[in-house]
Amino acid sequence: MEKTANLIGRLALGYVFVHVGVTGAIGAGMAQPAWLAFDALSIAGGAALLLGWHIRQSALILAALAVVAAMARHQEFGWVLAVGLLLLASRDVCSLCLDNRLLRR
Protein backbone atom coordinates (compact mmCIF):
# COMPACT_ATOMS: atom_id res chain seq x y z
CA MET A 1 0.00 0.00 0.00
CA GLU A 2 2.81 2.41 0.87
CA LYS A 3 4.59 1.80 -2.44
CA THR A 4 1.37 2.48 -4.33
CA ALA A 5 0.72 5.70 -2.41
CA ASN A 6 4.32 6.78 -2.99
CA LEU A 7 4.00 6.12 -6.72
CA ILE A 8 0.68 7.97 -7.04
CA GLY A 9 1.97 10.94 -5.05
CA ARG A 10 5.19 11.08 -7.06
CA LEU A 11 3.34 10.94 -10.37
CA ALA A 12 0.79 13.56 -9.27
CA LEU A 13 3.45 15.99 -8.06
CA GLY A 14 5.53 15.41 -11.17
CA TYR A 15 2.54 16.09 -13.40
CA VAL A 16 1.69 19.30 -11.53
CA PHE A 17 5.18 20.70 -12.01
CA VAL A 18 5.47 19.68 -15.67
CA HIS A 19 2.06 21.22 -16.33
CA VAL A 20 2.90 24.44 -14.48
CA GLY A 21 6.23 24.72 -16.28
CA VAL A 22 4.82 24.08 -19.75
CA THR A 23 1.86 26.42 -19.36
CA GLY A 24 4.11 29.08 -17.85
CA ALA A 25 6.62 28.79 -20.69
CA ILE A 26 3.91 28.84 -23.37
CA GLY A 27 2.08 31.81 -21.91
CA ALA A 28 5.22 33.68 -20.92
CA GLY A 29 5.76 35.69 -24.08
CA MET A 30 8.41 38.20 -23.03
CA ALA A 31 8.61 37.07 -19.42
CA GLN A 32 11.50 37.86 -17.16
CA PRO A 33 14.45 35.44 -17.31
CA ALA A 34 13.92 34.42 -13.69
CA TRP A 35 10.41 33.10 -14.44
CA LEU A 36 11.65 31.33 -17.57
CA ALA A 37 14.32 29.63 -15.43
CA PHE A 38 11.58 28.76 -12.93
CA ASP A 39 9.53 27.18 -15.74
CA ALA A 40 12.54 25.24 -17.05
CA LEU A 41 13.35 23.89 -13.56
CA SER A 42 9.70 22.99 -13.04
CA ILE A 43 9.63 20.98 -16.27
CA ALA A 44 12.96 19.25 -15.59
CA GLY A 45 12.18 18.49 -11.94
CA GLY A 46 8.66 17.32 -12.72
CA ALA A 47 9.95 15.05 -15.48
CA ALA A 48 12.54 13.63 -13.08
CA LEU A 49 9.78 12.85 -10.57
CA LEU A 50 7.63 11.24 -13.26
CA LEU A 51 10.53 9.03 -14.33
CA GLY A 52 11.70 8.34 -10.78
CA TRP A 53 15.18 9.70 -11.44
CA HIS A 54 17.01 11.40 -8.53
CA ILE A 55 13.75 11.70 -6.62
CA ARG A 56 15.19 13.17 -3.43
CA GLN A 57 17.22 15.85 -5.17
CA SER A 58 14.39 16.73 -7.54
CA ALA A 59 11.85 16.90 -4.72
CA LEU A 60 14.08 19.19 -2.64
CA ILE A 61 14.73 21.54 -5.57
CA LEU A 62 11.04 21.64 -6.46
CA ALA A 63 10.12 22.25 -2.80
CA ALA A 64 12.41 25.28 -2.78
CA LEU A 65 10.81 26.50 -6.02
CA ALA A 66 7.34 26.00 -4.54
CA VAL A 67 8.25 28.10 -1.50
CA VAL A 68 9.67 30.88 -3.70
CA ALA A 69 6.54 30.83 -5.87
CA ALA A 70 4.27 30.83 -2.81
CA MET A 71 6.04 33.87 -1.39
CA ALA A 72 6.27 35.74 -4.71
CA ARG A 73 2.70 35.09 -5.84
CA HIS A 74 1.07 34.95 -2.38
CA GLN A 75 -0.46 31.54 -3.03
CA GLU A 76 -1.02 29.05 -0.25
CA PHE A 77 -1.01 26.13 -2.70
CA GLY A 78 2.78 26.47 -3.06
CA TRP A 79 3.20 25.69 0.62
CA VAL A 80 1.07 22.55 0.23
CA LEU A 81 3.20 21.43 -2.71
CA ALA A 82 6.38 22.08 -0.72
CA VAL A 83 5.15 19.93 2.18
CA GLY A 84 4.20 17.11 -0.20
CA LEU A 85 7.60 17.27 -1.87
CA LEU A 86 9.41 17.24 1.47
CA LEU A 87 7.42 14.15 2.48
CA LEU A 88 8.35 12.53 -0.83
CA ALA A 89 12.02 13.39 -0.29
CA SER A 90 11.96 11.80 3.16
CA ARG A 91 10.77 8.44 1.82
CA ASP A 92 12.94 5.59 0.63
CA VAL A 93 13.40 5.20 -3.11
CA CYS A 94 10.50 3.24 -4.53
CA SER A 95 10.73 -0.03 -6.42
CA LEU A 96 9.13 1.40 -9.58
CA CYS A 97 11.72 4.11 -10.17
CA LEU A 98 14.37 4.64 -12.80
CA ASP A 99 17.00 5.03 -10.06
CA ASN A 100 16.51 1.42 -8.94
CA ARG A 101 16.79 0.11 -12.47
CA LEU A 102 20.04 2.04 -13.01
CA LEU A 103 21.50 0.87 -9.69
CA ARG A 104 20.98 -2.80 -10.60
CA ARG A 105 23.42 -2.57 -13.49
For 93, the 3-state DSSP assignment is: coil
Ramachandran category for residue 32: left, alpha or beta (phi over 0 → left; psi -120 to 50 → alpha)? beta
SS3 content of the chain, % helix, strand, coil (to 5): 80, 0, 20
Q: What is the pTM of this model?
A: 0.82
Cβ–Cβ < 8 Å for 81, 66? yes
Cα separation of 25 and 35, whole Å?
8
pLDDT tens readout for residues 57-69: 999 999 999 998 8
pLDDT tens readout for residues 45-96: 999 999 988 889 999 999 999 998 888 877 788 888 899 999 888 876 676 7
